[in-house]
């Protein structure tokens, strides 16, 4: 008999260039490192950098029947338009992470857990606020436990190659910062 437990149904959203799709891809690849069933479905506007971008990611211990997510149990929003669109979609009991560096609004929902992270400021402390997306990746790992930091680091090493290889160490540092931040909350 097929089990139907799904670890996580995740939506990660922001402006093009903020790295929402990369975070989703790293979660999916880390799931593969742990022999889980995964799907990653990107969506982005025609503007690319500066337009909207989001992805649906599913990490499961069984076959994923569809990559489309109607009711995510975990949402990361990196900008205000994403907050406006996806906050209402989080299923009751789910988790919402908000980039409080760019989003001043507070969720009015009482049926979900909401975490406000000043990701741009945290990333800027390391000298590169363009990598603030990695803070959210670490926060996701800490909040869910669905994948391990080790698997995320391996996925990053396997995927950031060539000219992007130089970002691995700084990304690991930011992932660890996001992880540690969530463990303190």
For the residues 125-146, what does the mean pLDDT come to? 90
pLDDT band of residue 140 (cuts 50, 70, 90) is very high
Q: Which of 31, 62, 7 has its CA nearest to residue 151? A: 31
Strands 37-44 and 95-99: unpaired
Q: What percent of the chain has pLDDT over 70?
A: 94
Q: Does the pLDDT at position 149 exceed 80?
A: yes
49 has which bridge partners? 16
Task: Tell me how far CA of residue 20 lies from CA of 53, 78, 118, 165, in angstroms.
Answer: 7, 8, 16, 19
Report DSSP letters for 83-124, one per residue.
Answer: HHHHGGGSPTT-EEEEETTT-------SSSEEEEE-HHHHHH
Strands 95-99 and 113-117: parallel
**Average pLDDT of the chain?**
91
For the CA atoms of 57, 55, 20, 4, what is the dihedral angle to 10 degrees? -10
Q: Does the pLDDT at position 82 exceed 70?
A: yes
For the residues 129-154, what does the mean pLDDT come to? 94
Q: Which of 98, 12, 76 has its CA nearest to residue 106? A: 98
Domains contained in the chain, CATH given = 6-184 (3.40.920.10)
Q: Does the pLDDT at position 1 exceed 50?
A: no
Lowest-pLDDT range, 89-103, 120-134, 147-161?
A: 120-134
Lowest-pLDDT range, 29-38, 53-62, 120-129, 136-145?
A: 120-129
Is the CB of residue 77 less than 8 Å from the CB of residue 83? yes
Quick one: pLDDT at residue 77? 98
pLDDT band of residue 53 (cuts 50, 70, 90) is very high
Residues 35, 146: Cα–Cα separation, whole Å? 12
Q: What is the SS3 assignment for 137?
A: helix
């Amino acid at each position: 008999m097929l089990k139907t437990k799904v670890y996580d149904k995740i939506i990660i959203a922001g402006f093009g260039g903020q790295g929402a799709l990369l975070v989703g891809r790293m979660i999916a690849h880390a799931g593969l490192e742990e022999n889980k069933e995964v799907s990653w479905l990107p969506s982005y506007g025609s503007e690319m950098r500066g337009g909207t971008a989001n992805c649906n990611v599913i990490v499961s211990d069984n076959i994923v029947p569809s990559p489309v997510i109607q009711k995510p149990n975990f949402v990361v929003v990196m900008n205000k338009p994403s907050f406006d669109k996806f906050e209402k979609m989080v299923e009751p009991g789910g988790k919402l992470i908000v980039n409080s560096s760019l989003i001043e609004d507070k969720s009015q929902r009482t049926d979900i857990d909401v975490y406000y992270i000043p990701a741009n400021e945290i990333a800027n402390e390391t000298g590169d606020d363009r990598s603030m997306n990695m803070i959210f990746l670490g926060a996701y790992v800490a909040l869910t436990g669905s994948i391990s930091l080790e698997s995320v680091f391996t996925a990053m090493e396997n995927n950031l190659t060539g000219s992007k290889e130089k970002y691995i160490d700084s990304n690991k540092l930011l992932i660890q910062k996001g992880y540690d931040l969530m463990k303190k909350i």
